């Protein structure tokens, strides 16, 4: 049996306590093809879509400090737009659709390695039960 390199996961599998965006969505730079004078942005090998990135905090209260903030890559033809933050909150609660997880070995700097995950998604949106999602359209 051959395991796929990218494993399909649901948002609830990856973030059972939710996720909160703590950065803007930015285009991922392709450092191998970029030069000092010319930025080249990364595209997905399989789809050819541009790759965008947003940093999120995992809502799991038991998450290790090293695992609390995660960058999620979003494959999208246009720059994804984050939902509005909840009133009174400095963070924006988000949900990702079309997620995959790719395992890799991360060096920790102390001579030990640990298993880590790279997450990709095809969409970012507000949770369906959030106040912003339930607000009537103007």
Q: Give yes or no for residue 106 having a pLDDT over 60.
A: yes
Q: Give yes or no for residue 29 having a pLDDT over 60.
A: yes
Which residues does residue 120 pair with via DSSP β-bridges, in sequence order? 73, 100
Residue 2 lies in a domain: no
Question: Within 13 Å, how many C-alpha atoms sit on residue 67's CB side?
Answer: 15
- Which pLDDT belongs to residue 135? 42
Q: Give yes or no for residue 47 having a pLDDT over 60.
A: yes
Q: For residues 57 and 24, give the distance between their C-alpha atoms in angstroms, rounded to a whole number.
A: 13
pLDDT tens digits along 94-105: 999 999 999 999
Residue 119 lies in a domain: yes
The residue range of the domain holding 25 is 7-134
Q: For residues 124 and 93, give the distance between their C-alpha atoms in angstroms, rounded to a whole number.
A: 10
Dihedral (Cα; 86, 92, 98, 104), 10-degree rounding: -150
pLDDT tens digits along 56-84: 999 999 988 878 999 999 999 999 999 99
Residue 49 lies in a domain: yes
Q: Give yes or no for residue 52 having a pLDDT over 60.
A: yes
Between the CA of residue 123 and those of 26, 31, 38, 97, 116, what are the distances in Å?
14, 24, 28, 5, 22
- Which pLDDT belongs to residue 1? 64
Query: Which segments within 13-112 are labelled E, that is strand?
Result: 19-21, 26-27, 51-58, 69-75, 92-97, 100-107
Residue 43 lies in a domain: yes
Residue 88 lies in a domain: yes
Q: What total number of domains does the chain contain?
A: 1
Pairing state between β 113-121 and 69-75: parallel
Residue written as token pair 């965006």: 21
Residue 64 lies in a domain: yes
Residue 128 lies in a domain: yes
Residue written as token pair 């997620």: 99
Q: Give yes or no for residue 118 having a pLDDT over 90.
A: yes
The pTM of the full predicted model, rounded to 2 decimals, is 0.84
Q: Give yes or no for residue 87 having a pLDDT over 80.
A: yes
Instruction: Please tell me which residue, 69 or 134, carries the higher pLDDT value.
Output: 69
Residue 15 lies in a domain: yes
Q: Give yes or no for residue 35 having a pLDDT over 90.
A: no
């Amino acid at each position: 049996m051959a395991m796929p390199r990218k494993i399909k996961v649901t948002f609830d599998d990856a973030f059972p306590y939710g996720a909160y965006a703590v950065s803007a969505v930015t285009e991922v730079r392709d450092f191998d093809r970029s030069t000092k004078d010319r930025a080249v942005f990364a595209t997905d090998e399989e789809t050819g879509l541009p790759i965008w990135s947003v940093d999120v905090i995992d809502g799991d209260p038991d998450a290790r400090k090293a695992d609390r903030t995660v960058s999620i890559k979003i494959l999208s033809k246009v720059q994804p737009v984050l939902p509005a933050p909840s009133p009174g909150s400095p963070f924006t609660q988000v949900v990702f659709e079309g997620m995959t997880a790719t395992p890799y070995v991360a060096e920790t700097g102390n001579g030990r390695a640990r298993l880590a995950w790279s997450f990709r998604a095809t969409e970012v949106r507000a949770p369906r039960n959030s106040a912003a999602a339930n607000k009537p359209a103007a």
